[in-house]
Amino acid sequence: MKNQKPSYLNFDSDTYSWKPDINYRKHPEKYKVGKGEQGVLICEPYKSEIGKYWRFKDAEIAEESSAKIFELFKEYLNQNDFVGADMARKYLQMGFTRARRYFNYKSGRKYDPENNYKPLQRGTGDPEKEKSAAIFFHKWKEAEADAQYAQMKKEWKENFG
């Protein structure tokens, strides 16, 4: 792992593309696809609609959670709601990344704030989270492979970024 401090230490909300005071269903044109999971914990009303189902404590819970979020993903596509579909895809991706983090690190933290944010030792986490991560990974990749989603994403990025 690189010996660098976490990016959230220098986070500048003024320059961040996603804002908590925007209703992205009413103003979808303000939504940016971004990189990875960016905006997932900010963009309303999708954060509230999808986030309540996002769980990865164990494989059974991850299976139920990822299935529900994927169901929402398909519903958003059926409604021609790209922003909702992209947000659901981001929650599936985040299910994978967060479960992997808890597999790699017992506390879920990668850096030690008490020691100048030095990276913590990997391999101390919960093996059950590896199963959860795999479940979310497969649903995330299934969402990304959806032809309708891929076309909508391409068009969105061309039109709005």
User: What residue ranges do the domains of the chain occupy?
Assistant: 20-159
Q: Are 115 and 55 in contact (CB under 8 A)?
A: no
Q: What pLDDT is attached to residue 109? A: 83
C-alpha distances out from residue 97 to 31, 51, 59, 94, Å: 22, 15, 15, 5
pTM for the structure as a whole: 0.89
- 69 vs 67: CA distance, rounded Å: 6
Q: Are 83 and 46 in contact (CB under 8 A)?
A: yes
Positions in the chain whose pLDDT score sits under 70:
1-3
C-alpha distances out from residue 3 to 26, 78, 108, 109, Å: 42, 44, 18, 15
Of residues 67, 91, 88, the one with CA closest to residue 149: 88
Of residues 10, 94, 9, 85, the one with CA closest to residue 56: 94
Q: What pLDDT is attached to residue 10? A: 75
Q: What pLDDT is attached to residue 3? A: 60
Q: Are 91 and 51 in contact (CB under 8 A)?
A: yes
Q: What pLDDT is attached to residue 85? A: 98
